[in-house]
Every structure is written in structure tokens, then in C-alpha cells.
Chains A and B, each alone.
Chain A
């Protein structure tokens, strides 16, 4: 077998997978705390990418260039995604705390449709090309046919983000509060944790991660559209379920598995059915191991 081709697919799968993982983290964290599939999470990712595109577009016209734009666009995209995530939780999910399980889920689907069409109407239904913001490094030239500079930047950024997230959750006071809320919401409230704030914060962190993913993927693939959030969201959710929902390392593992399986399937077989491979994986996993690879089986108590 052609080793170089294999490596190329390996790295492209790794890149995709790490972006799925970034989005999946948002799903998994929110699900861990309030047992809600935040359907609109994919849309937050799309809004992040779109804001970055707008900022980059404006900056290019006013003469900024290169790396400065990337940093600025990413920063503003992150800011806005966080704001949207925060507002979303406040409007669409908080009033539904304590209602039947189906209600917040339908509300989330409603918000997902709303945000998609909001961007569609406020901006454009067309695909917009995203400027190539990630510079190509000279030192990558010898291996450029296997792994490009953009891929390297994505991998490094993802890695750094994950490390920071782990530190935040394991080492800080806020992280401790988050873990406590995840274990038992009402108990956490009893010991004086401001649960509402923790939930808001979870949404904000999830949105920040999604926005990072959005900026990275937009500059990697090179185009943005109001619809990109939907498929990416579904795939990332699958990644979260695959790894075991509620588990952070699980989300990363799930993302990587999906990224690789897509990349190898497209490379060695055909890309016609690439998008549905995820779902086949999802169904198989849910039948064989509903709790996911790293998930704990939670017993329901009455």
C-alpha cells in the first residue's frame, strides 16, 4: 500500500477529526450538565465562521494583512459566538428548566432553524469564499504533500485548546463547580454553587470552542455558508455520542474516529456516501454500546 497516500489521509482525517472534537466538546459539556442536546450548537459554530469571514473581509479591504487578520477575526468570532451562546441559553433554554424533556429539545431545534434562516436572510444564501488566512510556512515544504501548514496550525491550536480546557476543568474553582453541577445539579445548588451561572458559563465555553472550530475549518476548507453548521453539528454530536456523551476525552476520541473513518472511506472507496457514514457509525454504536466508548452506564433511579 502507498504509504504517503495513507499518511496524507491520516493527517487530513486527524485535522477534520480535531475540528469535530472541538465542536463535540460543546455538546458533551452541555449534555453533561443539563441533559439537553443543544441542537443550535452547530449554528453557533456557523455564526463564528461567518463573523470571522465578515471581519476578515472588512480588514482586507481596509488594508490589514496576513496573520493580524487571522488573530483579529478569530478573537471577534470567539467573542460573538460566546455572546450568542449565552443569549441562546438565556432565551430558549432557561425558561424551560423543569419542563418535560421534549420541550427544550424542540426549542433547541426551533432555535437552530431560526439562526440558520437569520443568517440566510441577513447575509446571503450563497457560498462565500473565505480568505486564506493561514500562511504557508517554509519549514513545512518538505512534507507539504502529506501535511500542509493549515493542517499543522489546526492541530496545534486544537491541542492547545484542549489542554487549556482540561486545566480549566481540573484545576480551577470554576471547573470544580462545573464538575459538581454535572454530578448532581440540585446537590450543587445546596452547597452554594450558583448553578445558573455555571450553566451559562458552560454554554459560553462550548460556544468559544465551536467558534475556534468554525474559524479554523473556514480557513481550511475556504468557504462559508449559512448551512455549514447543520451537518457539522450532527457529525460532532455523533462524535460526542460515540465517545460517550458527558465525557470530555470521549468527545475527542469520537471526533478523531469520525474524522479518520470519513477520510479513509473517501480516500479508498468513494466520497458519495461520505456524509452518511457518520450515521451508520452512530446507529451501530448506539446498538452495541449505547453509553459510548468511554461513557459510564448511568443507572436510572426511581
Chain B
């Protein structure tokens, strides 16, 4: 007890020292004013003291759990256990779908609009999940594919007057193409190099869009993009929002079905195998480059499609909307929700988009919290909020046969 108390006290002191210049002093070098915020010392000290206790407790718990797991004891919580039950899981999905369908009938346009944003991030999360969660390819420039889709629609709409429904598949295919073109030379690289190159690609996209005035109208962006049409019907803003909402729901359902089927397909199993052990996987005769490329390109496909929808929803896009921060948010959705887990990613998207939206006071701190959450999740719950359900295959034959014989 006393030892722990002393340790926490020391940690608190250390953090007071560590944060002193940045938290306490604020210098304005233009007007030469120094502001001393002494009260912050107290907050840091108390915070660090309490957190160090939590930290120790969590680490101890983690050790215990890994020990239990080694002994084969079930360490799942009740929620996780319920979700691992396939039947229950399917029912939960069905209830969610019904709720989603009646949502715009109950709530107003503002809420529906926020929900559309959340759904866009659900699709982005699910798309990135193919790369990061299933195939283990860390992509830090994912937002670029989203941008490719959005710009495809904006440019085609402004110059050739093409409609939403024609461009939707084009956006997806273009995103996919960019994925292949970029992915081809770099996918033979190790995972961490891939991360940095994709990060670079994200930045290249933004810089090119800012500077290529003739194509993208530069930093000022493209405005007056058409909303999606429905057989030429005139729609008010509210109606159009609801319409977009339903398109988005359809897109989410499609994404879920496709990713779910993919996960259990031949190529999906190859992705998971590649993530688990690259060398063993290649030794088993799986074409590494092609498998990785397909994961990368498919992820890009979804981003491109949803990008088209994003442009149609906001009717205005500019390069500032496609920054690394966006990629980071999508990545934290996947990490927070649970890499490889579809339900987890959906939950993650809702938490990360809706929380800052409804807790306005908190939104200033959201990136701070996301960053910390990414690290904490990796340490204490690497499988995410809802962990991925592993396909379990059971050989039923022997049991029945035994019953017969008996």
C-alpha cells in the first residue's frame, strides 16, 4: 500500500515536471506577455496520481487475463459472450436495421444529417477494415481514396453533367484503380513501410488537388454539386436528406454483406492467414502480392463509392476536407471498434462521430482523446470493443456416427 502510494506520488511529481513548461507557462512572443497558469499544476498532479493507480490496476488485470487465457479459462465478458452467439448476433443486427429504417421518420432533418455522416464513416471504417483488420495492411492515407471518389463526382458533375447514379460505380472503380496503381509497386514492402508510403499518398493527393487549379479549382474547392436524383423528381432539402439517408443505409447493408461474405471466402481466409504469418502463408502457396493487392483495392473501392455520396451530400468539397486527421479518425474507428470485427467497426464509427457531435464541449478534446484511446486500446484491449468472431468449424459426422453405433 505504502509502496504504491509512494510510487504514484513520484509519478505525479514526474508529470508535473514534464508538463510544467507547456501547461503552466504560456508565452505570447508577439506582444511579449507571459501568462502563468499555476492552477494547472494541481490538476496535472491529481490527474497523474489517480491515473497511475488505474494504470497499475489495468496492467495487473491484463496479466491475470493472459494467465487465465493460457489456462484455457473463458475470459469473455457477458456482452462479448452474447455477441459471439451467432443467433443472438443476427437478431441484434436485424433490430439495428429496423431502428435504422424508422430513424428519419422519428427524428428531424438535423439528426438525420448527422446520422448520414456517421453512416459514411461506418462504410469508410468497414472499407479500411478490409485492409487493416483482415489483411493487416496499415493504410494511413485511406482518406485519399475517399477524396478520389468525391472529386470524381464533383468534376464529372461540373464538367459533363453526369448524375449521381452513373458516377457512383465510376467513383468506386476509380478508387479501386488508384488503389491498384499505388499498391502494385509497394505491396511487396513490409507493413511499416506501407504505412508511411500510404501516408505520403494521402498528402500527395491533397497537395495535387490544391495546386492543379484547372482540374480541381484549387484550395477554394468545387461548389454546387448536384444532390442525388430520383427519376427527375424535385425534392426539398429535407426530403433529399432523407433520401440520401436511405441510400446510405442501403450502401451500409451492401458493404456489410459483401465484407461478411468476403471474410469467409477463399480470398478472405488468405487475407487473415497473411496477417497472422506472412512467411507461413507464402509457404502454403498463397500469392502474397495478389492477395494484398486485392485487399487494398477492395478497401479503396468502398472509399471511392462513399466519397461520391459524400460529395453529393455536402454539395461542396475542397482539399482541406481530406487531411491526415480524417485518415486518423477512420483508423481509430477500426482500432477502437475491433480490427476485423464488422459489428465493432459500426459501433466504433457511431461512438467516434456521434459523441463529439452531441457533446459539443468535448469536441475540442476529441483528437486528444482519440489519440490516447488508440494507445490505450492497443495496450489493454487490442481486439477492440467487440472482438472479431472467429469462424469455428465443427465436424458433426463423428458424433452422429457414435450415436448410431451406441
Contact = CB atoms under 8 A, between A and B. Distances in A.
Q: Do A and B come together as binding partners?
A: yes
A114 B376 CA distance: 11
Nearest to B332: A110
B74 interface: no
A297 interface: no
A96 to B, nearest CB: 6
Nearest to A108: B375
Nearest to B62: A95
B372 to A, nearest CB: 5
Contacts of A273: 207-208, 211
A104 interface: yes
A83 to B, nearest CB: 6
A106 interface: yes
B370 interface: yes
Given A286-B189, A302-B279, A96 B378 contact: yes
Nearest to B335: A106
A110 B196 contact: no
Nearest to B205: A276
Interface in B1-54: 14, 17-19, 21-23, 25-30, 32-34
A260 interface: no
A124 B138 CA distance: 31
Contact of A55 (B21, B32, B335): B21
The range of chain A's interface size is: 35 or more
Given A102-B191, A123-B22, A282-B200, A107 B368 contact: no
B378 A234 contact: no
B331 interface: yes
Contact of A103 (B195, B280, B378): B378
Given A101-B192, A113-B371, A286-B193, A279 B26 contact: no
A111 interface: yes
B371 A54 contact: no
A282 B18 contact: no
Interface in A47-90: 47, 50-51, 53-58, 60-61, 76, 80, 83-84, 87
Interface stretch (A126-134, A167-175, A178-186): A126-134
A124 B21 CA distance: 13
A22 B30 CA distance: 29
A122 to B, nearest CB: 5
Interface string B313-344: 00000000000100010011001000000000
Nearest to A101: B191
Interface string B351-379: 00000000000001101101111111011
Interface in B103-120: none
Contact of A58 (B34, B279, B283): B34
Given A113-B370, A230-B324, A286 B25 contact: no
A47 B376 CA distance: 22
Given A53-B29, A275-B207, A286-B197, A106 B371 contact: no
A109 interface: yes
B312 to A, nearest CB: 29
> Which of B33, B207, B372, B379 has the most A CB atoms < 10 Å from its CB?
B379
A241 to B, nearest CB: 7
B186 A286 contact: yes
Interface residues of B, number: 61
Which secondary structure characterizes the binding site on chain A? Answer: helix
A118 interface: yes
Given A131-B29, A234-B199, A110 B378 contact: yes
A40 B385 CA distance: 25
Nearest to B380: A95
Given A111-B371, A129-B29, A287 B200 contact: no
Interface in A149-171: none
B136 interface: yes
Given A102-B191, A130-B29, A279 B21 contact: no
B200 A113 contact: no
B88 interface: no
Nearest to B36: A58
A278 B192 CA distance: 17
B204 interface: yes
A238 interface: yes
Given A114-B368, A119-B22, A272 B378 contact: no
Contacts of A50: 21-22
Contacts of A45: none
A29 to B, nearest CB: 15
Contacts of A91: 375
A301 B200 CA distance: 30
A110 B379 CA distance: 11
B29 A276 contact: no
Interface string B190-231: 011101110111011001100100000000000000000000
> Which of A36, A103, A109 has the most B CB atoms < 10 Å from its CB?
A109
B382 interface: yes
Contacts of A294: none
A123 B40 CA distance: 13
Interface string A259-302: 00000000000001101101110110011001000000000101
Interface of A: 35-37, 47, 50-51, 53-58, 60-61, 76, 80, 83-84, 87, 91-92, 95-96, 99-107, 109-119, 121-124, 128-131, 230, 234, 237-238, 241, 272-273, 275-276, 278-280, 282-283, 286-287, 290, 300, 302
Closest 3 CB pairs of A and B: A110-B374, A279-B200, A114-B371
10 contacts: A50-B21, A57-B28, A80-B21, A104-B378, A106-B138, A109-B328, A113-B328, A124-B26, A238-B200, A276-B203
